Amino acid sequence: MDQSRRSGVETPLRCGYCPTMITPTTLFEKIWRQHRIVERDDGQTLLWIDRHLCHEGSFHAFDKLARSGRPVRRPDLTFAFADHYVPTRDRSAGARDPEIATMIRLLGENTARHGVRLFGLGDPDQGIVHVVAPELGLTQPGLTLVCGDSHTSTHGAFGALAFGIGASEVSHVLATQSLWQKRPRTLRVTVDGRLGPHVSAKDLILAVIARIGADGAAGHVVEYAGEAIRALPMEARMTVCNMTIEAGGRAGLIAPDDTTFDWLHGRRYAPKGADWDAAVADWRGLVSDTGASFDREVRLDGASIAPTVTWGTSPENAVPVTDRVPDPEAEGDPGRRATLAAAVDYMGLIPGMPITDITVDRVFIGSCTNARIEDLRIAAGVLKGRRATVPTMVVPGSSAVKRQAETEGLDRVFIDAGAEWLESGCSMCAATNGDMVAPGQRCASTTNRNFRGRQGPGARTHLMSPAMAAAAAVTGRITDVRLLGETA
């Protein structure tokens, strides 16, 4: 492992990702090899971790560290964010729930004690960890990056090997800046062609999950490739990698290119000057070599993907908006038939009904999947000059996104449409801060999970893109945004 990785957050990568190799190598394998410290006979590999991201839920790990009497091994490579439980309303009053208030307080105390940089309440860069870290340039190609949150796969959009870890693993990384991992398998998903008008990255990844299933990538790192992927801007690439976990994947990866470098250039923690030039030269080697072998391959036609929504209680229950709710009785496998029937029942749907006949009670636009500035611009484009017919919440992914949206006047578009414009945080995605969908209510949501009760006990969630969520806000039902005209 290259020793420059140990020197700090602004040190450029000079570890040679493109040495002469006889055997063509995947992007994943190049990063894995560069971070491998030692391998055990049982197949476990000890990896060096370049970035460790924490949030309020890390108090268990900090407590374990305290009981062992150990310090944080590399506080300069550890960054903390108040996001999962923070209030989005009346923030000056703090969290009303005493337990949540304690978690936020402990995050501040633990990070101060160990010299860890905290982006907490009141910080101008506060926001969702998977939005803020890329914004600041903490996420860079070729890094290993972990966080106690499953959607850490988001950062793979930059060509970083990023994955979520459990509480015991968080404490291990805090203490050692390393982590034992079993080498995953590899899956390449190639999306050919170009996406059609008003078809987004959210539609693309929902189509992928519908194709391979909610466990279709289990045990794999997924590399996304193809013309449709290369054409995506960085925000959209983050959406794709974010939801890799919903297909069971360990991590998602997209090889960095000029789109990546242009987006990162000048950000606070990105290399500067000659270091930047050296880093980019190194990062250009972060591609899968021609002829590199993957354990599995899947290919989709981007032009055939339509605006896509979920109807059931798993992200794999996704269909084009022009489709119908499936009939469980048409399923030959008894186990799957029972699962589909239970989902239809929980969601209160009728088999065979058009997707566009499904009414919604509220709309949520936010989360680490779809609350970046580009997402808000798209949603505002649909809502401009229109009124929401159901309660609608818009929660930006970070304080920086909120300021940018207000500079561009997007907040006025949302407010004029009758939507709530709130402070940044995870909010209704996981309903951990009090923002939730009432029992039995149906929500059109830009989040990443539609499990039973994900947005509140008894809540019914339909996943979709920001454009589709905004269209649902206008019509009060799931609507093909392409039918709203060119203003969308």
* The predicted structure's pLDDT at residue 11: 38
Cα separation, 397 vs 385, whole angstroms? 24
- For residues 385 and 449, membership in a common domain is answered with yes
* The predicted structure's pLDDT at residue 18: 53
- For residues 271 and 331, membership in a common domain is answered with no
- For residues 115 and 78, membership in a common domain is answered with yes
Residues in CB range of 408: below 8 A, 6 or more apart: 377
- For residues 233 and 376, membership in a common domain is answered with no
The DSSP letter of residue 3 is: G
Pick the last residue of a domain from 285, 301, 317.
301
Pick the last residue of a domain from 301, 325, 356.
301
* Alpha carbon 338 to chain centroid, angstroms: 30
* The predicted structure's pLDDT at residue 94: 74
Cα separation, 218 vs 214, whole angstroms? 8
* Count: domains in the chain: 2
- For residues 214 and 329, membership in a common domain is answered with no
Pick the last residue of a domain from 267, 301, 335.
301
- For residues 431 and 454, membership in a common domain is answered with yes
170 is a domain residue: yes
What's 372's domain CATH number?
Answer: 3.30.499.10
Neighbouring-strand partners of residue 297: 188
CA distances from 408 to 376, 391, 401, 404, 413 (A): 11, 23, 11, 6, 10
Between CA 464 and CA 471, with CA 466 as vertex, the angle to 5 degrees is 85
For 115-134, b/e burial (b = at least 16 CB within 10 A) is ebbbbbbeeebbbbbbbbbb
- For residues 219 and 313, membership in a common domain is answered with no
CB 365 within 8 A of CB 376: yes
- For residues 323 and 275, membership in a common domain is answered with no
Count of beta carbons in the 10 Å neighbourhood of residue 172 = 21
126 is a domain residue: yes
16 is a domain residue: no
Q: What is the pLDDT along the chain (488 residues), one digit of tens a residue?
A: 443 443 344 333 334 555 555 789 999 999 999 999 999 999 899 999 999 999 999 999 999 999 999 999 999 999 999 999 999 988 777 778 888 899 999 999 999 999 999 999 989 999 999 999 999 999 999 999 999 999 999 999 999 999 999 999 999 999 999 999 999 999 999 999 999 999 999 999 999 999 999 999 999 999 999 999 999 999 999 999 999 999 999 999 999 999 999 999 999 999 999 999 999 999 999 999 999 999 999 999 999 999 999 999 999 999 999 999 999 999 999 999 999 999 999 999 999 999 999 999 999 999 999 999 999 999 999 999 999 999 999 999 999 999 999 999 999 999 999 999 999 999 999 998 889 999 999 999 999 999 999 999 999 999 999 999 999 999 999 999 999 975 55
CB 131 within 8 A of CB 397: yes
- For residues 241 and 376, membership in a common domain is answered with no
Place of tokens 């570890």: 15
Residue 58, SS3 per DSSP:
helix
Domain that holds residue 56: 3-11+22-301
CB 254 within 8 A of CB 162: no
Helices (H) and strands (E) in the chain, counts: 15, 19
- For residues 185 and 66, membership in a common domain is answered with yes
Taking alpha carbons only, the member of 226, 285, 232, 223 closest to residue 250 is 223
* The predicted structure's pLDDT at residue 91: 79
17 is a domain residue: no
CB 156 within 8 A of CB 430: no
- For residues 294 and 313, membership in a common domain is answered with no
- For residues 314 and 284, membership in a common domain is answered with no
**Residue 163: φ, ψ to 5°:** -155, 155
